[in-house]
Structure 1
Amino acid sequence: MSDEHDNDYDDVTTEHDATETPARNGDGAVPRNPDDERLAVVREAPPTGGAEGDDDEYQWHTGLNRPTGVPDAVEFVDVHKAFGRNKILRGLNMGLPEGKISMILGPSGTGKSVCIKHMVGLLYPDEGDVLVHGESVPNMTDDELFDMRKRFGVLFQDGALFGSMNLVDNVAFPLRQHTDKSEDEILEIVHKRLEEVGLQGAHDKMPNELSGGMRKRAGFARALVLDPNIVLFDEPDSGLDPVRTALLCELIQEIHDENGGAYTVITHDIMSARRVAEYISVLWKGRIVEAGPAEELFNSENAFVRQFLSGESQGPLGME
């Protein structure tokens, strides 16, 4: 696949089974608790660069990834990524826990969508590693990468539907491309997924006949047809009004309750995070400020996290 539009640095264009990854000392990693192999990796931010700390751009980054009691489905290990002179990820350490709905939050331009591209192998880190269920994505062969991508479902901002295909054919596309299932089996799966997202009466509609919310739901159905272990949502609430955003959040929660897996949502919408997030990673300037269970993040003592999650004007984050 091409990364031809990777020169856009904003989120619109712009993070595993950790039990097999040895802990590293001396570079900010905290060793795993030997009494509980299920604990997610806990990391501290890399050393700060300011002489006194007051002027250091990372002074608010504690880098804490609080344990969740489960392994990570995806892990970023000291990941650096730059496009020319524009450094997007600068030593990112982030884990996304198995079986939970995670949200990656942060200001625009901090690299949230670049993280999705690293997970599925559309981008490779300049330094560091990205692990999916304990396997290094940059070190995969083309065949291994192709198989690994089948574990993912991805819902893009606009649904990314094919304009020349009706709804059924759009949702069936991954099954026809990647499986040997009969047409009857494919249609049975497609109809089930369309019913799950409330589109059972729109089978023959073309994408241009669907509302924005319907296109999102159609994209969600297509993301689910291969029964992925990991589902990624790149700003799924973009372009939706508050009511439809709330309904989409309910749908994500319901489908996750039924199917399980590691769901990761990139969003700016704090209300969405309050509704469905079980684990939150706050990303700023290419590194994790803090990460952990949602209830802990919403009660964080960190000034930046508190400001961002409450939407206050006063705090470390300004208009720059």
Structure 2
Amino acid sequence: MADDKKVDKDEPLEAVDRVKVVQEAAPGDDEEYRWHTGLNRPTGVPDAIEFIDVHKAFGRNKILRGLNLGLPEGKISMILGPSGTGKSVCIKHMVGLLYPDEGDVVVHGESVPNLRDEELFEMRKKFGVLFQDGALFGSMNLLDNVAFPLRQHTDKPEEEIMDIVNLRLAEVGLTTAGDKMPNELSGGMRKRAGFARALVLDPDIVLFDEPDSGLDPVRTALLCELIQEIHKENGGAYTVITHDIMSARRVAEYIAVLWRGRIVEAGPAEELFNSDNDFVRQFLSGDAQGPLGME
């Protein structure tokens, strides 16, 4: 894809001030907003992932407009924002499925756009990903779906693979479902199966793309509880992409609010839920009155 060019390795990246930066809204934005970044590491711990002045467009459609964001190590972070603001595009940049037109994306100190193909392949092993509907292989039963990454990326014997798979299935409450096919599972079970598969390689970073999509409120609450429990046990950096405010209130330790390709505000969850920013207040309260309208 023409837009997905890699950054020139000999071209120095522009330095980014690690103190909290304030940016004016991009030319053409209707409202005058100041955009905060999370690069000051307000949690007091290093960042697992950093976006540094990232721009991304598809033709004339500008998706990311100078995105600056740090997602802290060891925390459950949530990127919140209305539909169509670039949340899923952020995930694709983290794992190198898309490259920025300008700027940099850094994972554990490594510039993703500057990685060679073999380095990118190894870097992706740091990630586990839970897709919106679990993204299970329809021709495989649950055991084989969860075992797939281990068979592809390790030389472990089959007995050890099955031990790991059964452990992960037990963690997500699917001990007796291993022989079932994906079409025999409910939506919530598919999500949990996808979560088990995301964990089998013991990833440092787990990404969740709209994990509550298609779930009723009770199953959403149960999935949020499961995410908290497994994060407490395993640690790592969890990043959840969502627009569901109740999910954020349940599990988020760190929140970044994305709108029009930039961060409106980012910081510890308790600070964001008490924000005096008009956009953040409107989005988190679901109020019809405010700067966020029908677009």
Counterpart contact for 1:60–1:304, Cα < 8 Å: no
Q: Please list the CA deviations of residues 270-296 of structure 1 after superposition, one character each: whole Å capped at 9, or x if unmatched.
A: 000000000000000000000000000
Q: Partners of 2:52 and 2:181 in 1: how far apart?
A: 42
Q: Which residue of 2 aligns with 1:213?
A: 188
Q: Partners of 1:117 and 1:73 in 2: how far apart?
A: 16
Q: Partners of 2:241 and 2:96 in 1: how far apart?
A: 18
Amino acid at match of 1:197: V
Counterpart contact for 1:92–1:287, Cα < 8 Å: yes
Q: Please list the CA deviations of residues 172-211 of structure 1 after superposition, one character each: whole Å capped at 9, or x if unmatched.
A: 0000000010101100000000000000010100000000
Counterpart contact for 1:30–1:44, Cα < 8 Å: no
Amino acid at match of 2:34: H
Structure 2: gaps of 5 or more residues: 5-12
Shift of residue 254, structure 1, vs aligned partner:
0.2
Counterpart contact for 1:23–1:31, Cα < 8 Å: no
Shift of residue 43, structure 1, vs aligned partner:
3.0
The answer on 1:95 being equivalent to 2:82 is no
Query: Residues 272-287 of structure 1 correspond to what in structure 2 (within 5 A)?
Result: 272-287=247-262
- Aligned to 1:221, the other structure's residue is in SS state helix
Query: Residues 1-320 of structure 1 correspond to what in structure 2 (within 5 A)?
Result: 24=15, 29-31=16-18, 42-45=20-23, 47-49=24-26, 56-57=29-30, 59-65=32-38, 67-320=42-295
Q: Partners of 1:169 and 1:82 in 2: how far apart?
A: 38
Go from structure 1 to structure 2 and tell me whether the alpha carbon gap of 1:87 and 1:124 turns closer, same or farther (over 3 Å shift). same
Go from structure 1 to structure 2 and tell me whether the alpha carbon gap of 1:174 and 1:219 turns closer, same or farther (over 3 Å shift). same
- Aligned to 1:76, the other structure's residue is in SS state strand
Note the aligned Cα RMSD (angstroms).
Answer: 1.8
Amino acid at match of 1:43: V
Q: Please list the CA deviations of residues 17-56 of structure 1 after superposition, one character each: whole Å capped at 9, or x if unmatched.
A: xxxxx993xxxx4345xxxxxxxxx3322x4456xxxx85
Q: Partners of 1:190 and 1:31 in 2: how far apart?
A: 41
Q: Partners of 1:116 and 1:149 in 2: how far apart?
A: 12
Q: Partners of 1:266 and 1:72 in 2: how far apart?
A: 17
Q: Please list the CA deviations of residues 120-162 of structure 1 after superposition, one character each: whole Å capped at 9, or x if unmatched.
A: 0000001100000010000001110000000000000010000
- Aligned to 1:138, the other structure's residue is in SS state helix
Shift of residue 60, structure 1, vs aligned partner:
2.7
Structure 1: gaps of 5 or more residues: 7-21, 33-41
Q: Please list the CA deviations of residues 58-92 of structure 1 after superposition, one character each: whole Å capped at 9, or x if unmatched.
A: 62333142611000000000000011110100100
Go from structure 1 to structure 2 and tell me whether the alpha carbon gap of 1:80 and 1:298 turns closer, same or farther (over 3 Å shift). same
Counterpart contact for 2:130–2:194, Cα < 8 Å: yes
Amino acid at match of 1:144: E
- Aligned to 1:190, the other structure's residue is in SS state helix
- Of all paired residues, the percent bearing the same amino acid is 80
Q: Partners of 1:318 and 1:133 in 2: how far apart?
A: 37
- Aligned to 2:57, the other structure's residue is in SS state strand
Counterpart contact for 1:63–1:288, Cα < 8 Å: yes
Go from structure 1 to structure 2 and tell me whether the alpha carbon gap of 1:206 and 1:178 turns closer, same or farther (over 3 Å shift). same
The TM-score, its normalising length taken from structure 1, stands at 0.85
- Aligned to 1:313, the other structure's residue is in SS state coil
Go from structure 1 to structure 2 and tell me whether the alpha carbon gap of 1:108 and 1:49 turns closer, same or farther (over 3 Å shift). closer
